[in-house]
Amino acid sequence: MTQTAQARRIDTVENEAQRVYKLQREAYLRDPYPSFGVRQHRLRALVKLLLEEQDAISDAINADFGHRSAEETKMLEIFTSLDGIRDTLRHLRRWMQPQHRRTSLVFASGHSRVIPQPKGVVGIVTPWNYPLFLSMGPLTSAIAAGNRVMIKLASNSKNLCRLLAEKVGRVIPEEEVAFLPGVPASEFSTLPFDHLVFTGSADVGHTVMHAAADNLTPVTLELGGKSPTIICGDYDVAEAAARILFGKLINAGQTCIAPDYLFVPEDKRDAFVAAAQAIVPKRYPDTNDRSYTSIIDDKAYRRLRATLKDAEDKGATLLPLVPGAAFNDSLRKIPPHLVLDVTDEMRIMQEEIFGPLFPIKTYRDLDEVTAYINQRDRPLAFYLFSNDSTTIDKVLKRTISGGVTINHCMFHVAQHDLPFGGSGASGMGQYHGYEGFLELSKLRPVFHAPMIPHLNLFYPPFTDRTRSLLSVLLKWAP
């Protein structure tokens, strides 16, 4: 047995993660290619569970955050999860079909095909900011591809993780899908998975990728980053502000694809500020009420306050957007702020913000903006506001990011026929829809040799006839 084959086995179980992994691997070996009916049943069980337990799920996430409204959870996590599963159910039978491929004329009467096969046991590591959606998205792809799946949620999502472990365990056996409360990251990420999906910070992503490399485990990494937003001169500033601030402030800015910083034409900055000052108080008249989400924990709360102070100390202008709103240390609520006159020496322009702070930069020439963006790490998302198709095409071709929404923010992630994934520092690999099915499948190429045994013309010993045939083949090109 090779070293790699040995690495996929766990002979001695030392902890809970290894126990579940061993159980799932044995189940995979007994039934390595679940039928369409089996996969359909698992996905439908998830749909039924999400509908029946939507209130319990919202309560658990609210408890984990300290405060997040049920409406926000149902809109951003439960609906998007259900919509993704239903889209997969509509297309799964077709995705599972073998793909016929072209065969070279040299091998006439032979034929080629690709069979999408399950990889085996897939691990999913999910962050706290959208713990349900970022579990259900890759889980849907993994089940569709026929895999067994183990899911580890962040330590900040302990209430949701316990709930899902109990509820999912009642409708899907743990040999097929298992949520693992209380399992340390070090015990989970070092398992010899057949594929590992990680969503989280770049720093932790490095650690996860290193652990996966020891087992030659392929990885999908979704790592976030500073997603830029550009308002072009032809676009209505007030309408852009209304759309951008929705994406920025939902979940109190704790979104990996939230607009992180804004470029606005120099002569339209004040118009954007005025629009923001009019819009935000209507949406969040009191940042202590149920519509506005808490920062996840004290560490994150202190980091955001320190980031804001660093910007102010280095010359930025801070503009609170809700009159009279104060920082609430007990509920960990930070009033939304615009941050003007920012420079690259400030932490707010160096680190992913992950909070309700929005720095604004001005520009005169769009080429300056694309140059600035291209000098930095590739972001997970990119937002452009323009009605001019030439401008849109130019900016898209001159920049690279994970995904793009034109004239709004974040909604590309809800289009299930679009792949979701990063580029460079913002990640690798992709999932959602068909691309998710492909990511977590082994596309196994199968070639059927020609019925007419003409390939023996190339068997040794090599003769003048062999050399003549090779001469013809080498010259045979379009």
Q: Does residue 111 sit in helix, strand or coil?
A: strand
Are 62 and 294 in contact by the 8 Å Cβ rule? The answer is: no
Query: Using the 8-state DSSP alphabet, how is residue 14 labeled?
Result: -
Nearest-CA neighbor of 183 among 147, 148, 221, 155? 155
Number of other residues whose CB lies within 10 A of the CB of residue 380: 28
Query: Which amino acid belongs to residue 336?
Result: P
Q: Is 239 among the catalytic positions?
A: no
Nearest-CA neighbor of 34 among 149, 151, 114? 149
- E strand residue ranges, 215-260: 219-222, 228-231
Q: Does residue 101 sit in helix, strand or coil?
A: strand
Q: What are phi and psi of 69, to 5 degrees?
A: -65, 150
Q: Tokens 């969503």 sit at which residue? A: 199
Give long-range contacts, CB 8 A cutoff, 24+ apart: 6-9: 7/192, 7/215, 7/216, 8/120, 8/192, 8/194, 8/215, 9/192
In the set 256, 352, 409, 439, the catalytic residue is: 256
Give dist(CA 417, CA 432) in Å, integer.
Answer: 7
Query: Which amino acid belongs to residue 95?
Result: W
Are 224 and 426 in contact by the 8 Å Cβ rule? The answer is: yes
DSSP run (H or E) holding 403: strand 403-406
Q: Is 222 among the catalytic positions?
A: yes
In the set 222, 232, 352, 439, the catalytic residue is: 222
Q: Which residues pair with 197 in a beta bridge?
A: 124, 220
Give dist(CA 127, CA 221) in Å, integer.
Answer: 12
Does the CA dihedral 344-347-351-356 come out positive or negative? Answer: negative
Cα first-last separation, the chain: 46
> Please, what is the angle between helix 237-249 and helix 269-283, to 10°?
50
Give dist(CA 176, CA 319) in Å, integer.
Answer: 51
Q: Which residues are the active-site residues?
A: 222, 256
